[in-house]
Amino acid sequence: MPDDCLRPPALRPGDAVMLVSPSGPTRPERVARGIELLTGWGLRPVPAPNAYARRGYLAGDDALRAADLNAAFADPEIRGVICTRGGYGAQRVVDLIDMAAVRRDPKVVAGFSDITALQFALWRGARLAGVHGPGAAWRDERTPLRSAESLHAALTSAEPVTVAAVEAEETYPVRVPGRAEGRLLGGNLCLITASIGTPDMPDLTGAILLVEEVQEPPYKIDRMLTHLRRCGALDGIAAVAVGQFTECADGWDTTVVDVLTDRLGDLGVPVLGGLPIGHGPGQLTVPVGTPAVLDATTGTLTVTSAVR
């Protein structure tokens, strides 16, 4: 398939990266480990002016969060944008982003969870490929060395990224054999479904859909996937890559694996579960918006780099 997305330059030693908080609030002590990692890679992390702002469950007012994003996109010295965390709030600011600045000087944007909304907006407004991976509010107990190496490779190398299904992952049994090619799009399931009806919801025709989630009971997973089915969003997809569904259990006998198998297993496309992508331990990083190959028979997802 044509690689017609906007792929920013790979990060190099000496490059400045801005740490932004487009969604929920964080604290300097939570970001200190992320700064240590980025510095160890030879990068120059620069906290945005409002990176540690707080207004309830938001990292400051909408105008402040949007201003930090636009400052990062407009500053030629800044070569990457690393979100500190997810939470909630990115959808409130995406319409304020200066997409002309994004297109004029594309930069790699990394994050996950609520940042799915930001990556969808950047895809819609600039066809900017992104990086679905841990934020700068780093926790070694959840994202150990392998997670750090995975993020580093995605930010600094133009080589394809391959992630293999892991038997220890809860979603590993979710599988429909087969092989498919398509652009990898998606991320957090809540944010995908919240994007339906907005300008940012991507056309998933011919795409490989990535889904992951955290702390949502199986019936809510069922509701979201059923919504995607009923509105036609899954019509014509090429495959589904199933990441981590972390702490997604309640008191009912029906498990999240049961729901994923039921709602995805009859779509007539390859489905691969067990991918360590999401909110769980050992989270790995993948590009989004770029061509990919999902092989559910061999258990691998290979994605073209988001950087060049």
The domain boundary, picked from 156, 174, 201, lies at: 156
The tens-digit pLDDT sequence of the chain (308 residues) is: 666 899 999 999 999 999 999 999 999 999 999 999 999 999 999 999 999 999 999 999 999 999 999 999 999 999 999 999 999 999 999 999 999 999 999 999 999 999 999 999 999 999 999 999 999 999 999 999 999 999 999 999 999 999 999 999 999 999 999 999 999 999 999 999 999 999 999 999 999 999 999 999 999 999 999 999 999 999 999 999 999 999 999 989 999 999 999 999 999 999 999 999 999 999 999 999 999 999 999 999 999 999 99
Question: Looking at the domain assignment, is residue 6 inside a domain?
Answer: no
Whether residue 139 sits in one domain with residue 166: no
- Tracing tokens 């990457």 back to the chain, one arrives at 80
The domain boundary, picked from 156, 182, 201, lies at: 156
Residue 145 to residues 6, 140, 244, Cα–Cα distance (Å): 29, 8, 18
Whether residue 145 sits in one domain with residue 68: yes
What is the predicted pLDDT for the residue at 4?
84
Domain count, the chain: 2
Whether residue 186 sits in one domain with residue 60: no
Whether residue 233 sits in one domain with residue 123: no
Whether residue 138 sits in one domain with residue 50: yes
Whether residue 180 sits in one domain with residue 135: no
- Supply the residues annotated as catalytic: 113, 212, 279
Question: Looking at the domain assignment, is residue 297 inside a domain?
Answer: yes
Question: Looking at the domain assignment, is residue 198 inside a domain?
Answer: yes
Question: Looking at the domain assignment, is residue 283 inside a domain?
Answer: yes
Q: Give the whole-angstrom CA distance, residue 49 versus residue 20.
A: 9
Whether residue 250 sits in one domain with residue 186: yes
Question: Looking at the domain assignment, is residue 308 inside a domain?
Answer: no
Question: Looking at the domain assignment, is residue 106 inside a domain?
Answer: yes
Question: Looking at the domain assignment, is residue 9 inside a domain?
Answer: no
Q: Global pTM? A: 0.97
Which structural domain, as residue segments, surrounds residue 148?
16-156
The domain boundary, picked from 103, 137, 156, lies at: 156
Whether residue 108 sits in one domain with residue 27: yes
Whether residue 72 sits in one domain with residue 22: yes
Question: Looking at the domain assignment, is residue 84 inside a domain?
Answer: yes
Whether residue 178 sits in one domain with residue 147: no
Whether residue 173 sits in one domain with residue 279: yes
DSSP the chain: ----SB-PPPP-TT-EEEEE-SSS---HHHHHHHHHHHHHTT-EEEE-TTTT--BTTBSS-HHHHHHHHHHHHH-TTEEEEEE---SS-GGGTGGGS-HHHHHHS--EEEE-TTHHHHHHHHHHHH-B-EEE---SS--TTTS-HHHHHHHHHHHH--S-EEEE--TTSTTTT-EE--EEEEEEEEEEHHHHHHTTTSTT----TTPEEEEEEES--HHHHHHHHHHHHHTTTTTT--EEEEEEEET---SSS--HHHHHHHHHTTSSS-EE-----SSSTT---EEESSEEEEETTTTEEEE--S--
Whether residue 143 sits in one domain with residue 23: yes
CATH number of the domain where residue 78 is located: 3.40.50.10740
